[in-house]
């Protein structure tokens, strides 16, 4: 892996949430997001949750517009972003989550005024509306052609556009004549670009990655991100998405995601796509249908075989968060004092987490007397040689020692 010159790029994470979203940390503030984004190595965030009145008030009070759609807290830029849940009936039940990128606060206010005609916004940072996907995109385009709509965590079972329970098998089925106005999909933790390359419908769409973080901790924030070429404007960012001219993405191993394999959490059972087919997708423990994992779902919808790489494929870095490596090395938990002590020491020496995960050499790590086991795992992480026991039915995957995983390229 060649070193990345961080001066040339913006590491962006646009799918995050505020403390006003369900199941999110009550300590999420703009100040905490900025602090931990810098520790992670991110240098551009989405605000998340612009539809929530109280969070939007905080955004307006604390961030300063540069006139080009970047909103700064001191020296750190944000773009306006949020997530919408659409649940509706169109022949049968449909449900999708969408990440919305917004050019400025004036447009955000117009979107909120439209949403107020459809329901309430003040009960959750990710509000639910009974609006068909194609109608929603059309209404957004009527407000501003500069709004970007990105299907969120595109493969997760219940609310990913390709998910087994979403009601859709394709983007065109959802967005119809608005298909051309959707320029990208978000991989989600349970898939990566390699899996999405197999889908013919995505050949002209950008494949981006963001974390869907529900807290500001660096093992959540930025665990997936998109690497953009340097710019200081919203249109500079969205232009790279539309034209597929950004540099690449940061991905976790998709097995680390909560829905990579099929299974039942309560039955403590999971299985590969091949095994799921043999079982007719029925749980052998309880006899009920399995929650179909992303790996199986990709196989069901793919035109291309595994290993297919399109000619315009973007590079991506498939890495686990540093907290995972440290906890694995010392046999502790992600949030233990022992893990945090070693993490903070590494950050103090080397600046930020992405620098450690992607750039710092073995010799530089050894010169600072970093634990040999941690050095070994950092290097194996870069080479994708850490085995991950796949996640399923809402359970994260687990990194394990002692087995080797093949490299992507």
Query: Would you tell me how many other CB atoms lie within 10 Å of the CB of residue 253?
Result: 25
CB 69 within 8 A of CB 233: yes
Instruction: Indicate whether 354 belongs to any domain.
Output: yes
Residue 405 confidence (pLDDT):
39
Q: In whole angstroms, give the CA distance from residue 397 to residue 312.
A: 30
Predicted TM-score of the model (pTM): 0.96
Q: Are 174 and 38 in the same domain?
A: yes
Instruction: Indicate whether 406 belongs to any domain.
Output: no
Give the CATH number for residue 87. 3.20.20.140
Q: Are 339 and 229 in the same domain?
A: no
Which segments of the chain have a pLDDT < 50? 403-409
141: Cβ contacts below 8 Å, ≥ 6 apart: 147, 178, 181
337: Cβ contacts below 8 Å, ≥ 6 apart: none
Q: Domain end: 228, 255, 282, which one? A: 255
What's the full length of the chain, in residues? 409
Residue 403 confidence (pLDDT):
47
CB 198 within 8 A of CB 302: yes
Instruction: Indicate whether 205 belongs to any domain.
Output: yes
Task: Residue 71: give the domain boundaries.
Answer: 6-255
Instruction: Indicate whether 71 belongs to any domain.
Output: yes
Q: Are 246 and 329 in the same domain?
A: no
Tell me how many domains the chain contains.
2
Instruction: Indicate whether 234 belongs to any domain.
Output: yes
Total H helices, total E strands in the chain: 14, 17
Residue 83 confidence (pLDDT):
98
Instruction: Indicate whether 287 belongs to any domain.
Output: no
Residue 407 confidence (pLDDT):
34
With 0-12 / 13-18 / 19 or more C-beta atoms within 10 angstroms meaning exposed / middle / buried, residue 267 is middle
CB 186 within 8 A of CB 99: yes
CB 39 within 8 A of CB 218: yes
Instruction: Return the structure tokens found at 86.
Output: 């659409």
Query: Would you tell me how many other CB atoms lie within 10 Å of the CB of residue 357?
Result: 21
CB 152 within 8 A of CB 98: yes
User: Could you please report the per-residue DSSP string of 197-210?
Assistant: TT-GGGTTSEEE--
With 0-12 / 13-18 / 19 or more C-beta atoms within 10 angstroms meaning exposed / middle / buried, residue 100 is buried
Instruction: Indicate whether 267 belongs to any domain.
Output: no
Instruction: Indicate whether 309 belongs to any domain.
Output: no
Residue 402 confidence (pLDDT):
63
**Which residues are bridge partners to 206 per DSSP?**
184
């Amino acid at each position: 892996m060649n070193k990345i010159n961080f001066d040339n790029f913006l590491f962006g994470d646009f799918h995050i949430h505020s403390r006003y979203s369900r199941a999110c940390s009550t300590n999420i503030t703009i100040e905490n997001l900025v602090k931990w984004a810098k520790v992670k190595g991110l240098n551009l965030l989405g605000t998340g949750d612009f539809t929530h009145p109280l969070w939007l008030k905080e955004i307006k009070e604390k961030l300063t517009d540069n006139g080009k759609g970047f909103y700064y807290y001191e020296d750190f830029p944000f773009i306006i972003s949020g997530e919408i849940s659409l649940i509706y009936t169109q022949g049968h039940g449909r449900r999708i989550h969408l990440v919305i990128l917004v050019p400025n606060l004036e447009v955000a206010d117009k979107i909120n005024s439209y949403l107020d005609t459809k329901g309430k916004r003040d009960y959750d940072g990710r509000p639910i509306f009974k609006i068909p996907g194609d109608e929603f995109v059309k209404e957004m385009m009527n407000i501003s052609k500069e709004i970007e709509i990105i299907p969120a965590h595109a493969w997760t079972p219940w609310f990913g556009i390709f998910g087994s329970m979403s009601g859709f098998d394709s983007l065109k089925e959802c967005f119809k004549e608005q298909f051309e106005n959707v320029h990208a999909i978000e991989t989600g933790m349970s898939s990566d670009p390699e899996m999405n390359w197999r889908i013919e419908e995505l050949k002209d769409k950008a494949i981006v990655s963001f974390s869907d973080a529900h807290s500001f901790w660096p093992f959540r924030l930025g665990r997936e991100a998109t690497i953009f070429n340097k710019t200081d404007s919203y249109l500079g960012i969205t232009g790279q998405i539309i034209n597929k001219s950004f540099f690449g993405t940061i991905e976790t191993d998709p097995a680390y995601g909560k829905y990579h394999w099929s299974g039942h959490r309560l039955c403590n059972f999971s299985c590969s796509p091949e095994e799921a087919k043999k079982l007719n997708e029925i749980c052998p423990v309880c006899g009920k249908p399995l929650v179909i994992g992303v790996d199986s779902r990709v196989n069901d919808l793919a035109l291309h075989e595994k290993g297919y790489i399109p000619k315009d494929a973007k590079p991506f870095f498939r890495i686990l968060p540093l907290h995972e490596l440290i906890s694995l090395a010392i046999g502790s938990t992600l949030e233990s004092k022992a893990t945090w002590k070693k993490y903070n020491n590494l950050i103090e020496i080397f600046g930020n987490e992405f620098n450690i995960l992607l750039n710092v050499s073995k010799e530089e790590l050894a010169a600072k007397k970093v634990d040999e086991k941690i050095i070994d795992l950092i290097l194996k992480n870069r080479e994708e040689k850490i085995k991950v026991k796949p996640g399923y039915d809402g359970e994260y995957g687990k990194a394990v020692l002692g087995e080797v995983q093949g490299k992507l390229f």
